[in-house]
Structure 1
């Protein structure tokens, strides 16, 4: 019985270790431009469900509605 419990509890740990190994392998390889794109996406995408459904974080923060989809906003920005 003890062996089964140990084996069953080690599976989530193994999965977490594998995920951590993947994330550590790309440590230090992300550029500032990539981080800016991730931040822009996170702040301008609309929530799909929940009490904030249909609103983007930037809309909640500023109180202003977005006029375009986040991809259109990204394309229209000057370089």
Structure 2
């Protein structure tokens, strides 16, 4: 399911999953952060977000059921 128009999104390359386009809000929910914290982490050269997503069961399930499309 693609993000709705007007929602801030980010494209990430997650090893083992490929490229994903995910809303900041959903990314924050998966990482148990606020959207502002996620935006701050994304500004870092090595945010650790991709590694955290690789280890997340919730992320894996959302990819498998098509909520988060991969490319």
Please give the range of the TM-score, normalised by the shorter of the 2 chains: under 0.3
Structure with higher RCO (Cα < 8 A, 6+ apart): 2
The two structures have a TM-score, normalised by structure 1, of: 0.19
Which protein has the bigger strand share? 2
The two structures have a TM-score, normalised by structure 2, of: 0.20
Which protein has the bigger helix share? 1
Q: Between Structure 1 and Structure 2, whose CA radius of gyration is higher? A: 1
